[in-house]
Structure 1
Amino acid sequence: MTKLTGQEITEQTPAGWVYLRNALRTRLRTGDFATGLALVNAIGGAAEAVDHHPDLDLRYGWVDVRLYSHDVGRVTGRDLRLAATISELAAAAGVTAGAEGLTVLELALDSPGFPEQLGFWEAVLGYPRDDDGDLRDPYQKVPLIWFQRSGDEEPRQRWHPDLWVTPAEVAPRIEAALAAGGTLVSDAGAPSYRVLADPEGNRVCLCTWEGRE
């Protein structure tokens, strides 16, 4: 099955969906649990009919949907077609699909001694190690943990969060962070990522799909 670039995916993504951390995502704002449950059942039926199954997170007031083709490790036309079907089901139920505020959080350990620390964290967390050497919760309820070789100059930050956002949210979040006393440490990795720091120097990366292909 043909793999699509991030730009192609973004151009073809239905309204209310975003391409975020290698998957299509949306939040269906149901307003109550019963409506959400009925919509999940409808989505399940449509997914079974095409033998392609989304990840669904049902909560009171909303349902989060994630689409990803595991067999090719990428979003494909299959996901785009099912996203369109899910949007139609949501509209028929009077439910709004929107991606405002959707993010994906990962944690990175910066260490001059990598990969010696990997075994320890694998044992403590009980996560399996994937092909990239990252520690990934198989149920995807806890952030992915990845490791990055760094210098040993002190003082330094060992852990840093990577926050995946849609490209459209980067500028507003940076503006808000600066207004709250933060600093833009580096945009040398833009548009893939920008590094920000809080008033005490603790860093976070704002990451997007752009510039990664």
Structure 2
Amino acid sequence: MNRQEISDAVIDVGWRYILSTIMTTVPVGSIGQAAEVAARCTAVAGDDADRHLWLDLRADHVLLTLQTLGAAKVTVRDIELARALSGSLREIGLATVPATERSVQLLEIAVDALDIPAVRPFWKAVLGYEDEEGNAGDPGAAVVDPHRLGPAVWFQQMAEPRVERNRIHFDISVPHDAAEGRIAAALAAGGILVSEAAAPAFWILADVEGNEVCVTTWQGRD
């Protein structure tokens, strides 16, 4: 499935495609209700729960993430699970929605490097990270938090040394229908639009001192 097909398959039930995952939130009224949501989702996913479903519980919402571990991508089974989970939660009066106080998102940190194989082991060790399952054979692939709490760190190939510009930047991956609002808010807060040449895949923004961040979506990448 390409990115457009994945997005089309889940958008009507409140899920959004972000960085090789699909994500949604379930608003709840207490941590106890969040635990009930988690139990119900685990039961619906059955034997596939451990290899597809990630759960993050808070007192006001549950964050649901689906991805096929070992493949590092969204598969047809993840689509099936998303629709089944949303349907099951609707039966008890709960909704899967892409936003509570803000849209679902994923944060990555990009490190520009001349020699990626030389710097990647340092970041993997100092952060206590590991190779992403499904990408372990790629020396340039991101390293990830084994507990999925911290942002992934990936490595961007440099063609020549650069000393007058920052070499680490954030990538904020947001739903495709939330990007314009996020960018507008950043610009209203004093940000600068550096480039939109690659939009809607990504926009480059910066603060007033030139520190850069990319707001990214899945669009424009197929």
TM-score of the superposition, structure 2-length normalised? Answer: 0.86
User: Is residue 68 of structure 2 the alignment partner of residue 62 of structure 1?
Assistant: no
Corresponding residue number in structure 2 for 1:91? 90
Corresponding residue number in structure 1 for 2:185? 176
Measure how far apart 1:139 and its partner are: 1.9
- 2:137 pairs, out of 115, 131, 154, with 131
Q: Which amino acid aligns with 1:103?
A: Q
Q: Where in structure 2 are there 5+ consecutive unaligned residues?
A: none
Corresponding residue number in structure 2 for 1:119? 121
Corresponding residue number in structure 1 for 2:155? 147
- 2:5 pairs, out of 5, 8, 18, with 8
Q: Report matched runs for 1:23-34 at 5 Å.
A: 23-34=21-32
- Contact 2:52–2:78, Cα closer than 8 Å, also in 1: no
Change (3 A) 1:53 1:158: closer
Aligned residues: 210
Corresponding residue number in structure 1 for 2:176? 167
Separation in 1 of the partners of 2:157 and 2:63?
34
Separation in 2 of the partners of 1:72 and 1:155?
38
Separation in 2 of the partners of 1:96 and 1:125?
36
- C-alpha distance after superposition, 1:144-174 (max 9, x if no partner): 1112233434321121000101111111122
Separation in 2 of the partners of 1:172 and 1:125?
32
- Contact 1:39–1:89, Cα closer than 8 Å, also in 2: no
Indicate the percent of aligned positions where both proteins have the same amino acid: 36
Across the aligned residues of Structure 1 and Structure 2, the Cα RMSD in angstroms comes to: 1.9
Separation in 2 of the partners of 1:78 and 1:105?
25
Corresponding residue number in structure 1 for 2:206? 197
- C-alpha distance after superposition, 1:111-147 (max 9, x if no partner): 3454432232222122223333322112211111112
- Contact 2:3–2:219, Cα closer than 8 Å, also in 1: yes
Separation in 2 of the partners of 1:119 and 1:112?
14
Separation in 1 of the partners of 2:70 and 2:119?
31
Out of 200-209 and 41-50, give the one that drifted further.
Answer: 41-50
